[in-house]
Structure 1
Amino acid sequence: MKKILAVVMCLAAGMSAFAQSISLPPSGDNQRSSVTQWIGPVSVTIQYSSPNVHGPNGEDRKGHIWGELVHYGFVDQGYGTSKAAPWRAGANENTTITFSHDVKIGGESIKAGTYGLFLDVEKEGNWNWIFSTNSTRWGSYYYDPKEDALRVKTSPQDAEYTEYLTFSFTDREAASAVAYLQWENKRIPFKIDVPHVNEIYLSQIRGELMGNRMGFDYQPWMDAAQFCARNKINLEEALTWADNAISGQFIGREDFASLQTKAQVLYAMNRDSEADVVMGKAIKHPTANVAEVHQYGRALLAAGKTDKAMEVFKTNRQLHPDDKFTTYVGLARGYSATGDKKNAIKNWEIAIKNIPENQKAFLPQYEAEVKKLKGGA
């Protein structure tokens, strides 16, 4: 009988080795949640279990979350190896945060990767976010301060009532965002900065231009050069990208857009005389249309280059004699900027007389310009 029982137990043990978990509701019905925010090319993902204020059995725990359900400081939870554990910043498994690239948290550097996210909740003074290199343990029962990658001070803020523990992001800028946990009546934030966001963009741009089909079209080369010109970075390489868009083997296309792109890079390099030559060629190129030349003239006006803008508006009129509206608007704006009210009024009136249907919504604005020039405003 003992031999039979031993065999049965061995078989049972063998079967358990192949057992798999079935799909059941999470412990305490604390549903799994995930939120991802992009900061430029950098992704930040927080995964957590989301308890609610009223608890799994509907009990009202309002006023009993902070300092009671969520303990203050570091405590012995009576289980696991940790005798001084912070709060798990959620429920059930570790709350984790994943950075696709190196970032800064509260001004401190942290490497790309996945971290366990804990919160030191204090009755008075600062609280502390804790980023642990161990992200796979259950809760904070096995928390070890030796595995801390970073601790960042934070201050809890009063917030609107939130039933379910929620992570989210606010103050989303081109190179930063503020992540926060919000539950019951508190919000606990931490700021994420990507200090070299443009360098990350450049790294990706180079790979995209060289590593896939995008490199066989002139548009991505222009986009890359324009990005550098706008941000005044990597300008020497940007100039080669602009040249490639114009005359690169198999992909180059000389037109108004590609020539203007090169000029933008040259302007960013403070090589204005060279840029002016390129733009002179661009506005006279057969591909240049009325609107493109007009917008270039407007940009010159905005930059305070009134004389150059006036030349562009005159050229636009000469090159496109059939246009009875936009070219006259350009001349009107140019003469207004130079102080020649008589010619400004004359050209505004011609433009208004020939206003197309898609511009009639702006007619009151144009008429106001004429009224102002005539001294009526």
Structure 2
Amino acid sequence: MLSSRFSALLLGCGLAGCLLTGRATQAQTYAEQQQLPLPQMSPHAVVQQTVGLTDVVIDYHSPSVRGRAIWGALVPYDQVWRAGANENTLISFADPVTLNGQAVPAGRYSFYVVPHDGQDWELILNRVTTHWGAEGYNAKDDQLRLKGTPEPAAMHENLLYWFSELKPNHARLNLTWEKRTVSLIVETDVNTKVLATIEKTITAQPKNWQLLAQAADYLVQNSLESELALRYINESIRLKEAYNNTWIKARLLASKQDYATAIEVGRKAIKLGEKQDTAFKTQLPGMRVALTEWQSKAY
């Protein structure tokens, strides 16, 4: 005898109907599970670049030309384009940045482009990151729109995002495809972040003379917080007098145009190096050149 539960099931859908439904469900599940690992026509790519201390990541799919007309054809003019293929292209910033001089909060954005014929293109950051390409795009969700001038480029079969002009607080982000490149200037407030990191590190290790010297050296190189740099380097020398931290102090004094004292401290650094560290000899020619320059300004 059939169980009461199974009997109720058969009465509810009919034996043949239930069996067919079950088989269809199993077939659907099987089809969903059996996905061949085939290469994509527009493969996935991720490009990451650290600008200063800020990570910038581009997540996109890279279409190829394959003999097709691109600008004004495959990619129409005056229409929002996903700036890649398949899902919408994503760009993320670990910290606040500026793009072409416009402030952008840290976060993840969809990146779109509106190409135009014979004029600047529109470069768009949109706060919605779950669209398929440009489907569902709405300008009300834009974080900002920027202008970008398309430049001629050597033929590039595959769409490529790449960085150039890397500096401690600056980089150029380029989109190149076919014979066009359009760019964004990414800038970061690296010094603010470095100063916060320095303060945190020195507070945790106040007796580390090398860290104090490194902190002062960074401040001197970047013409930042000269009084703070002087405090750090004096403490470093108090903990351990060496040629390298003494030379940093000499450079700091020269940056403050106290050339006479800088010369005196610089000569002391050379004497310390001769006694303490033979490796300093590779720096000695540059130190002597600096001393000569300071002498010409001091007297």
TM range (shorter): 0.7 to 0.9
1:297 aligns with 2:291: no
2:251 is aligned to: 264
Aligned to 1:69: 74
TM-score (normalised: structure 1): 0.65
- Rounded to whole Å, the distance in 2 between the matches of 1:201 and 1:21 is 51
The letter of the residue matching 2:193 is I
- Alignment CA distance shift 1:304-1:237 (3 Å): closer
Deviation, 1:276, is 4.3
| Alignment CA distance shift 1:234-1:53 (3 Å) | same
Report SS of the residue matched to 2:167.
coil
Matched residue SS, 1:172: strand
Asked if structure 2 preserves the Cα contact closer than 8 Å seen for 1:282 and 1:288, the reply is no
Residues 161-240 of structure 1 mapped to structure 2, 5 A cutoff: 161-194=155-188, 196-211=189-204, 217-240=208-231
Name the SS for the 1:35 alignment partner.
strand
User: How far is the alpha carbon of 1:136 from its aligned partner?
Assistant: 2.6
Q: What is the CA distance between 1:202 and its match in structure 2? A: 2.2
Shift of 1:3: 5.8
User: Counterparts of 1:288 and 1:30 in 2: how far apart (Å)?
Assistant: 56
| CA deviations over 1:16-75 (Å, ceiling 9, x no partner) | 7xx87967346x521001212232222221111001111xxxxx31xx21122112223x
Distance 1:179 1:158, change over 3 A: same
Does the 8 Å contact 2:148/2:182 carry over to 1? yes
Query: 2:3 corresponds to which residue?
Result: none
Contact 1:104 1:110 in 2 (8 A): yes
- For the aligned residues, what is the CA RMSD? 3.1
Matched to 1:88, the amino acid is: R
1:228 Cα deviation from its structure 2 partner: 0.8
- Do the aligned residues in 2 keep the contact of 1:300 with 1:308 (CA within 8 Å)? no
**Residue of structure 1 in register with 2:154 after alignment:** 160
Superposed displacement of residue 148, structure 1:
0.4
The 8 Å contact of residues 59 and 90 in structure 2, kept in 1 or not, is answered as: yes
> Does 2:39 correspond to 1:30?
no
Per-residue CA deviation, residues 290-338 of structure 1 (Å, 9 max, x unaligned), is 836654332122x2515989xxxxxxxxxxxxxxxxxxxxxxxxxxxxx
SS at match of 2:166: coil
Q: Which amino acid aligns with 2:256?
A: M
Structure having greater relative contact order (Cα 8 Å, sep ≥ 6): 2
Please say if 1:133 is aligned against 2:124. no
The 1-side partners of 2:285 and 2:154 are apart by 50
**Aligned counterparts of 2:232 and 2:74: Cα–Cα separation in 1:** 59
What per-residue deviation string (whole Å, max 9, x for no partner) do you get for residues 136-173 of structure 1?
32211011111100101112122111111111122333
Report Cα offsets for 1:96-127 as digits up to 9, x if no partner. 11112222112211111111000012234221
Kindly state the Cα deviation for residue 217 of structure 1 after the two structures are TM-superposed: 3.9
Residue 210 (structure 1) shift: 3.9
User: In the alignment, is the contact (CA less than 8 A) between 2:259 and 2:295 conserved in 1?
Assistant: no
> What is the DSSP-based 3-state SS (H/G/I as helix, E as strand, rest coil) of the residue aligned with 1:261?
helix
Cα displacement (A) at 1:279: 3.4
Q: Which letter does structure 2 place at the counterpart of 1:70?
A: V
Read off the aligned partner of 1:258 and give its amino acid letter: N
TM-score (norm 2): 0.80
Deviation digits for residues 238-281 of structure 1 (CA, Å, limit 9, x no counterpart): 1222123222xxxx211222222223223323444544443354
Q: One-letter code of the match for 2:77?
A: Y
Assess, with a 3 A threshold, how the Cα gap between structure 1 residues 259 and 108 changes in structure 2: closer, same or farther: same
* 8 Å CA contact 1:30, 1:49 repeated in 2: yes
The one-letter code of the counterpart of 1:138 is W
Which of 253, 268, 279 lines up with 2:240 in the alignment?
253
When residues 159 and 243 of structure 1 are mapped into structure 2, their CA distance, relative to the original with a 3 A threshold, is: same
Structure 1: tracts of 5 or more residues without a match:
55-59, 75-85, 310-377
Structure 1 or 2: more strand by fraction = 2
Alpha-carbon separation, structure 1, partners of 2:171 and 2:266: 39
**CA 282–7 in structure 1, closer or farther in 2 if over 3 Å, else same:** same
In the TM superposition, 1:2-81 aligns within 5 A as: 2=13, 5=17, 12=25, 24-25=37-38, 28-54=40-66, 60-61=67-68, 64-74=69-79
Q: Which structure 2 segments of 5+ residues have no match? A: 1-9
Contact 2:155–2:178 under 8 Å retained in 1: yes
